A and B are shown apart, each in its own frame.
Chain A
Amino acid sequence: MGIRLYQEPQLEDPILVASWPGIGNIGIIAVDTLRGILEAEEFGEIEPWDFFYPKRVLIRKGILEYLEFPSTKFYFKRTEGKDIIFFIGEEQPTEGGRMYAEGKKAYHMANLVLDAVERFKCRRVYTSGAAVSLIHHTTKPRVWAVPNSASLLSEIRGYDNTVLMSDIEGRRGHGNITGLNGLLLGVAKKRGFEAICLMGEIPVYLQGLPLSYPKASKSVLEVLGHSLKIEVNLGKLDELDQAVERRIEEFYQQIPPEIRGQLDRLKHVSYAQPTEPGPITEEEEKGIMEDVEKFFKKRGGGG
Chain B
Amino acid sequence: MSQGYPITIRKEPDLLQSSLVLGWSEDMANLGWRVTDYLKRKLKGQEFAEIEPEDFFSLGGVVIEDNLARFPGSKFYACQEYKLVVFQSGSPGAEWHKFLNSVLDVAEHHCRVKELYLLGAMVSFSAHTTPRQLLTVVNSVEMKEVLNQYDLAGDMDYQTQAGERPTLNSYLLWIAKERNIPGVTLWVPIPFYLAAMEDAQAQKKVLSFLNERLDLKIDFSDLDQEIREQNERLARLRSRLPQIDDYINRLESNLMLSEEENGELIKKIEDFLREGG
Contact = CB atoms under 8 A, between A and B. Distances in A.
Contact of A59 (B97, B98, B157): B157
A243 interface: no
Contacts of B93: 96
Interface residues of B, number: 31
A64 B137 contact: yes
B139 A63 contact: yes
A63 B174 contact: no
Given A95-B94, A96-B58, A56 B159 contact: yes
Interface string B141-179: 100100000000111111110000111001101100100
B80 to A, nearest CB: 30
A58 B137 contact: no
B96 interface: yes
Provide the main secondary structure of the chain B interface.
mixed
B138 A62 contact: yes
A53 B172 CA distance: 12
Contact of B160 (A50, A56, A63, A96): A56
B136 A64 contact: no
A57 B140 contact: no
B95 interface: yes
Nearest to B140: A63
A62 B165 contact: no
B149 to A, nearest CB: 14
Contacts of B95: 50
Contacts of B157: 59-61
A218 to B, nearest CB: 27
B159 A63 contact: no
A67 interface: yes
Contact of B155 (A50, A61, A67): A61
Interface string A90-124: 00000110000000000000000000000000000
A287 interface: no
Candidate in B58, B137, B139 with the most chain A CB atoms within 10 angstroms: B137
Contacts of A96: 58, 93-94
A81 to B, nearest CB: 40
Interface in B221-266: none
Interface of B: 58, 93-98, 135-141, 144, 153-160, 165-167, 170-171, 173-174, 177
Going nearest first, the 9 A-B pairs with the smallest beta carbon separation are: A57-B166, A62-B154, A67-B174, A49-B97, A59-B158, A56-B160, A57-B170, A54-B166, A62-B156
